[in-house]
Amino acid sequence: MDHSQKRWLFISLGISCIVLFVMLFFTIDANTLVELQKCNPWLILLAVVMHIFSLVFWALRIKLMCNSLGFKVPFFHSFNLVCSNLFIAAVTPSQIGGEPLRIYELTKADVPGGDATAVVIMERVFDGIVLVLGTVISVILLGMFFADLNFPEAYMLIAYIAAAVFAGLLMLFVIVAKKPEWAGRVVKRILHLLSRKKSPDIIKEYQRKIDGYLEQFYATLGHFTGKSKSGMFYGIVFSFLYWFNEFAVASVLMVGLGLPPNFLLSFIFMILITVIMMIPLTPGGAGVAEISIAGFYALIIPTSLLGVFVLLWRLIMYYFNLVIGFLASMLIVRREAKVQAKKPENL
């Protein structure tokens, strides 16, 4: 872990711990201990297991999408790259900083760079489709069945903005996919802006590599929409499975705390919270996640258990991710160290 990652990790942990401490301080009262006697620890454990299954769905999505392109990625390799991605995501704003790592790890499984890039981008496209559709449906359901609830207007505004950004990115992807010449010109212009102080030979080499990646990227997109349509199918199916399972964790935690599950409303809350957390405000969504969860779930969870609920959810969705992500990253570091150690022997 480099100095920058350590700094962001400490910032993320610090913000999360402070917000959780304040939240627990103001929500725990005499009723909390009474209510916790109804807690079912087995259901809390079930919530952890469900989260692990979500990671399995994610790993299967990557594996099967690569398989549809003709590349055999071992399941353990796919699962480990997903877990290591969690650690990077936890220390980068908006929790979406793990894409370069996923691409790198796929190349280590003999997936060409352009194909690996296309797979990871398509993952985000599928996630965007699920979340944009979920946000639209959630807003409709809120207006139809839950109009009497006093939703925090600021949160809803942020959710709308984030959903609009998602929709815009999806539209941009469609444009890029349909107009490769335009995408190539934009990339070249960005390259020249970023490489103004580089020598012409270095710029030409960068351009050659980028042209190769773009060619490979569009070829892979063609496969996904052509002979590898199974990859599109698996991507969509496992994206829905992943997000459905992740959103269900909150309802299981509520039942574990002796509360009604409120499945539909909880799903709506989780979709909106997830969209809000995608906004790059803090590393790992620290602070943003806790405050958003408290703001929405305060409408259906008693104050005496609200802080406990938020703490349990973050323990599973953030701190657990940090631990398994760190362990997975150490496996990658160990592998790379072995590769470097063997190099002198081959000279």
Q: Does the pLDDT at position 38 exceed 70? A: yes
Is 135 part of any domain?
A: yes
For Cα atoms 305, 311, 315, give the angle at the middle one, nearest 5 degrees.
Answer: 145
Q: Which two tokens stand for residue 282?
A: 């803090």
Query: Does the residue 27 lie in any domain?
Result: no
Domain-embedded: residue 101? yes
Q: 233-276 pLDDT, tens per residue?
A: 888 999 999 999 999 999 999 999 989 888 888 988 898 888 77
- Look at residue 2 and tell me if it is in a domain: no
User: What mean pLDDT comes out for the span 149-156?
Assistant: 68
Question: Which pLDDT score is estimated for 13?
Answer: 81
pLDDT of residue 174: 72
Task: Summarize the confidence of residues 91-114 as an average pLDDT.
Answer: 78
3-14 pLDDT, tens per residue? 666 777 777 788
Query: Is 45 inside any structural domain?
Result: no
Give residue 236's domain range.
57-346
Does residue 104 sit within a domain?
yes
pLDDT band at 347 (very low <50, low <70, confident <90, very high): very low
CA neighbor of 70 nearest in space, from 236, 233, 228: 228
- 332, 52 contact by CB (below 8 A): no
CA dist 63 → 10, 24, 78, 236 (Å): 33, 41, 6, 13
28 part of a folded domain: no
**Quick check: 106 pLDDT over 50?**
yes
For residue 346, pLDDT over 60 is answered with: no
Is residue 212, in this structure, part of any structural domain at all?
yes
**Tokens 């690569």 sit at which residue?**
66
Rounded Cα–Cα distance for residues 195 and 218 (Å): 24
- Domains in the chain, number: 1
CA distance 142 to 269: 10
**Which of 77, 18, 97 shows the shortest CA–CA distance to 290?**
18
Q: Are 94 and 279 in contact (CB under 8 A)?
A: yes
